[in-house]
Structure 1
Amino acid sequence: MSVVEPSTVTRSAFHPDVESYEQVNRDAMRLLTRPGKGYVALLAMSVALVGLLVFAELHNIIYGLGMVGDNWAVMITTFVFWVGIGHAGTLISAILYLFRAPWRQAIYRFAEAMTVFAVLTAALFPLLHIGRPWFFYWLLPLPSQRGIWPNFRSPLLWDVFAVTTYLTVSSVFFYIGLIPDIAAARDSTTDPMRKKVYGILSLGWRGTDREWRHFTRAYLFLAALATPLVLSVHSVVSWDFAVSIVPGWHTTIFAPYFVAGAILSGVAMVVTLMVPVHKIFRLGAYFTPVHYDRLAKLLLLTSLIVGYAYGMEYFMAYYSGELYERDVFWDRVTGDYWWAGWSMITFNAIVPQLLWIKKIRQNLNAFFIISVFVNIGMWYERFVIIVPSLSHSYEPWKFWNMHMTWVDASLLLGSFGWFFMWFLLFLRYLPGLSMAEIKEVLPPPMKHHAPEQLAHDEAEMVAETLPTGYKEREVR
């Protein structure tokens, strides 16, 4: 596979075949055309998994939380997993926007959509594991005649605030960035229903200078607002565990450890989504080797940070001399859950090191497989943090082994179905490529002139500044 070497020129992030604004519009609108059989099959499979999730939760409500292997195991593991998935979208769309990274334009829309749908998926699990989800509003600080307020020291309430804040800001950020492209879709579509819906969603956008000025300011403000959330949201989720005295949880490294793991899993999910979309919709002119090379390096960096955190956890458990802490960490790799512990270390810290090899980093199939392994490893990481520490606590008579039931498996698979259902619907009904930002790095359309006129225009200067001591003069 040929590789375009990274360059300091912004234009180099795209293939030279992308030449005109019309081509960008045409390729972006192609994603919104009639879907093929493969798309319909994937959507039907996702909806079926959502149905399985609904059935499992109804079974849970009727017969009680005893139907799951453990009240905390799979539900909280999957909750933390999906919250982490959403962080790479904010990293790519907001932080790289603030740093003016020249390679984010083509991929950030997929990353933003992934963020919104991942957080939407994570929001399901606090509702599912409270046992009586119809009383979910008890988690909110709503005034009532009884004068009873939620316990603000409860980690469950922290999760509610973290998820709702992140979901709100990410959704607004996602929607604001979509407005110019929805307006372009409104002007391109011939379907009267779509034209009407796109007209409402585009808020009357006409692309005037005033609209663009306010748009860029609003987008910059939201990017600056969303950036701290990358650090704060998953730090709050990590404190669910770190503030307790459970062995293996009570540690100060959890906040940066969770944030690095979240970015690692999010980047891996971006690659997992990009590669199939790249191949199915033939978007090689937009998803170039430059993009995959930068994503591979970002994944490699976060993998090294996570691997360092793994090593420091075991070192501190040994160096502290705390018997219970040392016993729990030893149990993670030699006890009943050794398979999960070694899967976590192998998939998150060892397998990504293959990306040091340039040929592997530039091979789409190999990169896709590595990203899938990282996603599996990150789910195992959350599993290893939660289950062995709870099942191997202080008193030996409380030791137990967690066994996943069909309800656990259904909720886990159903969460993936829920996520992919929304993502597939997004590909079908909203612009997946950011036409506005891609056009920013393309040569603007110019009028064609005769060679004599071009020579005359080049010779005619708009303004010329003479050396010091001479006054400025205008030619035109």
Structure 2
Amino acid sequence: MREEQVIEDLLPRKFGKTGQLWVGVLSCICLVGLYAYYRQLRYGLGVTAMRDYVSWGLYISNFVFFVAISLVGSLITAILRLANVKWSTPLTRIAEMIAIAAIMFAALIIIVDMGRPERLLNVFAHGRIQSPIIWDVVVITTYFFISCLLLYLPLLPDIKILIDHQRTATRPFQRLYRFLGSFWKGNTGQVAISDRAINILCITIIPVAFGIHTVTSWLFATTFRPGWDSTNFGAYFISGAFLAGSGAVVVAMYVVRKAYGMDHYITDDHFDKMGKIVVLLALVYLYFNISEYLLPAFKMKEGEDAHLRELFSGDWALRFWATIFISMLLPMVILLFPKGRRPLPMFLVGIMVVIGAWFKRYIIVVPSMLHPFLPMHDVPLSYKSYFPSWEEWAIACGSLAGGMLVITLLIRIFPIVPIHETIEEMKAN
């Protein structure tokens, strides 16, 4: 394949009618979410279904989900790059775009959960290093900036291509391209500095990525609630995050391949290899799930027993077992067969993993809140159950739509598959 053909194939393109409809739908969902947030600001957190006991509800579930999805950037970009896994090249930019969008909205949903956004200033003005909340703020901010750099630095050679090969689709963004990369000449010195910086960032982001979800798990584990007092929580959260992020990448791979006709760049082999990774991650996550629930169920300590019975055979049992089946067991069964690792089955598996991942976070948060160690006495009946209000659903869906909208706009502006790296690998072969 000629170099010019690769450039022509991978340059950003204008949205067709389907793309415009997609952006319109996402924008409408975001606007509804903004209206619901306006109502929350005006009338307070009383418009939500959260009360004294369930003070962490849909918003924190969304936060943990976004943090989980964001870890895919370190898996695809850093770990596979450092391992010199060449086949992952077309997936690195997809992973980084997902990571940046997810971590942005993880931070925003926490501000929403605070009720009054100005309370965020108290975290910086009165924060204490002893608090895991401060650790979370530091590690999320660090991870966001490293992810931005890991997206930006490999983009520099592609930005030069975008400036040199102007097309109708890229012309509106030429000022942005020149602002971001007009200094890039592609000489030996710049390439050496860039490669070294990318390697340093790849090494740095791995402990930060592990830290971000470990610290998030500590926010739960240091709270005195049934189901959260676990030394397994850090590894449990990290393994689930890698699985959720991989599922998100698989979904994005399929959509991008279909929408832009990139069968030659995102091939069946990529889906096959990602399928094997998903199976491995699902097995690891299943192991930590068994570890998380088996020992507490064996001991059935007072306080924990009501929580576990609710999950295993009570009101939450259907949701709990359905989530385990949909997000781990069924994907593993499908992906063990070569036909299950073809693009369409992989796409369906990716959707199952992502949806299951969201419900898993919801199940981690809410049932524990409904079973405090101190019994509920003399409280209104509404305090003993929780179902999110329409404002909560609207804000949560708006944040999810916002994340997808950010990814969509990044795909519109920048090449989704690295052009320069694809050309270099083509020459090497």
Task: Work out whether the TM-score is over 0.5.
Answer: yes
1:435 aligns with 2:419: yes
The SS at the match of 2:49 is: coil
AA paired with 2:280? L
Q: Could you say which residue in structure 2 is the equivalent of 1:189?
A: 166
Q: Could you tell me whether the CA contact under 8 Å between 2:297 and 2:308 is conserved in 1?
A: no
Q: Could you tell me whether the CA contact under 8 Å between 1:348 and 1:377 is conserved in 2?
A: yes
1:296 aligns with 2:275: yes
Q: Could you tell me whether the CA contact under 8 Å between 1:103 and 1:291 is conserved in 2?
A: yes
1:282-321 to structure 2, matched below 5 A, reads: 282-321=261-300
Q: Could you say which residue in structure 2 is the equivalent of 1:123?
A: 107
The SS at the match of 1:206 is: coil
Output the CA distance in 2 between the equivalents of 1:373 and 1:310: 17
1:271-420 to structure 2, matched below 5 A, reads: 271-397=250-376, 400-420=384-404
Q: Could you say which residue in structure 1 is the equivalent of 2:149?
A: 172
Output the CA distance in 2 between the equivalents of 1:228 and 1:355: 32
AA paired with 1:21? E
AA paired with 2:226? P
AA paired with 1:66? G
Q: Could you say which residue in structure 2 is the equivalent of 1:453?
A: none
1:69-88 to structure 2, matched below 5 A, reads: 69-70=49-50, 71-88=55-72
Output the CA distance in 2 between the equivalents of 1:162 and 1:339: 35
The SS at the match of 2:228 is: coil
Q: Could you say which residue in structure 2 is the equivalent of 1:24?
A: 6
Structure 2 runs not aligned, ≥5 long: 378-382
Q: Could you say which residue in structure 2 is the equivalent of 1:424?
A: 408
Output the CA distance in 1 between the equivalents of 2:58 and 2:130: 24
1:138 aligns with 2:133: no
Evaluate the alpha carbon distance shift between residue 54 and residue 309 of structure 1 in structure 2; reply closer, same or farther with a 3 A threshold: same
1:252 aligns with 2:261: no
TM-score for the superposition, normalised by structure 2 = 0.93
Output the CA distance in 1 between the equivalents of 2:216 and 2:342: 35
AA paired with 2:414? L
* 1:164-197 Cα deviation digits (max 9, x unpaired): 1111111122111111111111111156653332
Output the CA distance in 2 between the equivalents of 1:167 and 1:259: 17
Output the CA distance in 2 between the equivalents of 1:309 and 1:181: 41
Q: Which moved more, 1:176-185 or 1:156-165?
A: 156-165
The SS at the match of 1:218 is: helix
Q: Could you tell me whether the CA contact under 8 Å between 1:91 and 1:230 is conserved in 2?
A: no
Q: Could you tell me whether the CA contact under 8 Å between 1:186 and 1:199 is conserved in 2?
A: yes
AA paired with 1:52? V
Q: Could you tell me whether the CA contact under 8 Å between 2:340 and 2:346 is conserved in 1?
A: yes
AA paired with 2:419? M
Q: Could you say which residue in structure 1 is the equivalent of 2:202?
A: 223
1:101 aligns with 2:85: yes
Q: Could you tell me whether the CA contact under 8 Å between 1:304 and 1:349 is conserved in 2?
A: yes
Evaluate the alpha carbon distance shift between residue 273 and residue 377 of structure 1 in structure 2; reply closer, same or farther with a 3 A threshold: same
Output the CA distance in 2 between the equivalents of 1:300 and 1:412: 29
Q: Could you tell me whether the CA contact under 8 Å between 1:271 and 1:368 is conserved in 2?
A: yes
Q: Could you tell me whether the CA contact under 8 Å between 1:112 and 1:174 is conserved in 2?
A: yes
Output the CA distance in 2 between the equivalents of 1:245 and 1:133: 26
Q: Could you say which residue in structure 2 is the equivalent of 1:201?
A: 180
Alpha-carbon deviation of 1:441?
Answer: 1.5
Structure 1 runs not aligned, ≥5 long: 1-18, 142-148, 446-476
Q: Could you tell me whether the CA contact under 8 Å between 2:109 and 2:399 is conserved in 1?
A: no
Q: Could you tell me whether the CA contact under 8 Å between 1:186 and 1:194 is conserved in 2?
A: no
Alpha-carbon deviation of 1:129?
Answer: 0.9
Alpha-carbon deviation of 1:361?
Answer: 2.7
Q: CA RMSD in A?
A: 1.7
Q: Could you tell me whether the CA contact under 8 Å between 2:272 and 2:342 is conserved in 1?
A: no
Q: Could you say which residue in structure 1 is the equivalent of 2:133?
A: 156
Q: Could you tell me whether the CA contact under 8 Å between 2:62 and 2:396 is conserved in 1?
A: yes
TM-score for the superposition, normalised by structure 1 = 0.84
Q: Could you tell me whether the CA contact under 8 Å between 1:83 and 1:234 is conserved in 2?
A: yes
Output the CA distance in 1 between the equivalents of 2:127 and 2:24: 40
Question: Which fold has the larger relative contact order, with Cα–Cα distance below 8 Å and residues 6 or more apart in sequence?
Answer: 2
Output the CA distance in 2 between the equivalents of 1:436 and 1:355: 35
